Structure 1
Amino acid sequence: MRIGLVVDSTCDLPVAYLREHQVEILPISVRIGDQLRVDYRDEADTLAFLHSHIAERGANAETIPFTVEQIRDLFLQRLVVDYDHVFCMTVTKTRSQIRDHAQQASYAILNEYKPIRAAAGHATPFAMRLVDTQNLFSAQGVLPVEAVRLRAAGDGPGRIRARLEHLALHTYGYLVPRDLYYIRNRARHKGDRSVSLLSAALGTALDIKPVLRGWRGDTGPVAKIKGFDPAVRALFEFAARRVATGLLTPTLCLCYGGELDEMRAMPGYEALRAACADRGIEVFETVMSLTGMVNVGKGAVCVGFAADAHEFG
């Protein structure tokens, strides 16, 4: 059986990996003023757009996910012919409309695919499964990497589906933002009052940085640490301890809202890489998606992995 894999462009995995393993991308467009970019995870394009636009006007940007019609057309024009079963793994539905758009598109896809497959010489049924990763950014990458492994091992759709749905409940994303004012202004633009002006002002004045956790569709602070570098160190050291304790998949994903060499020079990074090497954990590093940087600002650091229940610290 030919199994296809689809992610959206907020899934922070290297584009070279996605291309090598033929993982399809549902892009998200970003409009800032009169500038529009479609995010296909091109790191050079993302960095150029970051330096020229996000820092000044990113908080007021509009993010535009693939529409229901665009998702339907992508499947009917190509994927229902290229594959027999497709897993579509999306950013958490609590933070984006992508999952809902894919759900609506699936009805038309499953109603209209038969003559298209028949014309291509395929008499067997087509199936698709939507999987809400229940997470964001780097943490989204854990599921497609596992799906690639299972597909390569010859596992069928039933086993892959069960494994992905289990992992979605046990995947954690941890993020340290650099600019609380940016997050506050971005949240206000989107109508989200979870970051108040007072908390942003106090955090900036005292140089307090939160460690934010994404888990099971919820995002919120789990620690507050003075200074960006100490907060990143605490994050990397915590991740290294989780690696030493044991992860549920041999995968750790990192992304950064800027040049990767900047992240690699941060305190705790080398120790984290060494811990992963000791335990046979594959590390994926990439520039944060354009959509991600629009929402959390440049310079944010994010780590994602799957693990048993735990607390930060």
Structure 2
Amino acid sequence: MSIKIVTDSASDLPLHFFQEHDVQLLPLRVHVNDKEYLDLETIQPHEVFEYIRHGAHPKTSQAAPNTIYDTFESIVKNGDAGIYIAFSSQLSGTYQTSVMMQQEIKENYPDAKIEVIDTKCASLGQGLVVHYAVQLLKQQLPFEELVEKIKAYSHHMEHIFTVDNLDFLAKGGRVSKTSAFVGGLLNIKPLLHVEDGKLIPIEKIRGRKKVLKRMVELMEERGQDLASQTIAISHGDDEHTALELKQLITEKFGCQSFIINSLGSAVGSHAGPGTIALFFLNDTLS
């Protein structure tokens, strides 16, 4: 019996990752200009950011229930076990739907081994959990031990990010509207993190370079053994700033392993262009 890893497109991993590591992808749905698209399948992140720049207001919805069920069923019918590493339940209904599909599978296939993990993570925070799960698979651990280790990585994943304007997140209900503010004219940048799966604004900082410097400071305060970790950076169509942050981190901590990628269409629809997000572990896990 093989163990198959499943995740959704909110993990913001590059498409080649899924292909190279045999990870199954569940696309979230993006709605823009009265059309529905599948994230990473029928719409790409740069297209979403262009729509936003031209005044569109994309909305998103969870992965289709039948897609989730069919994915689980194909794993079971092949005689394998599956672990779905899911987008935070605080930010999407996909986790709850996948639990219902898991229950249906178990009713129809009583011996099925399908585990659904609420990572309480988003973007490449979730993606890094998937990355570590792929590495753990190589150790051929028992199913239950693998599940517990993936949960541990999820629990210890830090998210530090900035957006150009909190209005995008507020309009989508991802942060409290009372927390949103318009700071563009004053060059004020909000800094946020994730707490129990929710997006929480923590600071307001004047200037992009100061925000990046503060992100590195928080990384030093919260991280452990950073030089040996894989660090992830996602961006809202702003690779230049992502690479600038990578350089600061490399100079400060000597990190060598990075995953840098654009926000996917689903997460990017809510975070907006100019978002920069940093992900790392706050504990050393073996």
Say whether the fold is shared (TM-score over 0.5). yes
Q: Note the 1:180-199 alignment, pairs <5 A.
A: 180-184=166-170, 186-187=171-172, 190=173, 194-196=176-178
Shift of 1:209: 1.1
Shift of 1:275: 5.0
Q: Note the 1:200-279 alignment, pairs <5 A.
A: 200-201=181-182, 203-239=183-219, 245-247=224-226, 250-264=229-243, 266=244, 268-275=245-252, 278=254
Q: Counterpart in 1 of 2:162? A: 176
Residues 229-238 or 132-141, more deviating = 229-238
Matched, 1:67 2:48: no
Kept after mapping to 2: 8 A contact 1:168/1:216: no
1:36, 1:270 → 2: CA distance? 38
Q: 1:12 to 1:240 in 2, by over 3 A?
A: farther
Shift of 1:225: 0.8
Q: Secondary structure at the match of 1:36?
A: strand
Shift of 1:304: 1.2
Q: Counterpart in 2 of 1:296? A: 271
Shift of 1:30: 0.5
Q: 1:138 to 1:81 in 2, by over 3 A?
A: same
Q: 1:128 to 1:297 in 2, by over 3 A?
A: same
Q: Which has the larger radius of gyration?
A: 1
Q: Counterpart in 1 of 2:261? A: 286
Matched, 1:16 2:32: no
Residue of 87, 101, 119 corresponding to 1:133: 119
**Count of equivalent residues:** 284
The residue type paired with residue 126 of structure 1 is A
Task: Structure 2 unaligned segments of length 5 or more: list them.
Answer: none
What is the alpha-carbon root mean square deviation over aligned residues? 2.7
Q: Counterpart in 2 of 1:118? A: none
1:233, 1:35 → 2: CA distance? 40
Q: 1:195 to 1:56 in 2, by over 3 A?
A: farther
Kept after mapping to 2: 8 A contact 1:253/1:303: yes
1:236, 1:205 → 2: CA distance? 25
Matched, 1:146 2:132: yes
Task: Structure 1 unaligned segments of length 5 or more: list them.
Answer: 115-124
Q: 1:172 to 1:133 in 2, by over 3 A?
A: same
TM-score (norm 1): 0.81
Kept after mapping to 1: 8 A contact 2:233/2:279: yes
TM-score (norm 2): 0.88
Q: Note the 1:10-159 alignment, pairs <5 A.
A: 10-40=10-40, 45-51=44-50, 53-58=51-56, 60-76=57-73, 78-82=74-78, 84-113=80-109, 125-159=111-145
- Deviations along 1:143-197, one digit per CA (max 9) or x if unpaired, are 111111111122121211111122222111111001234344x24xx4x671349
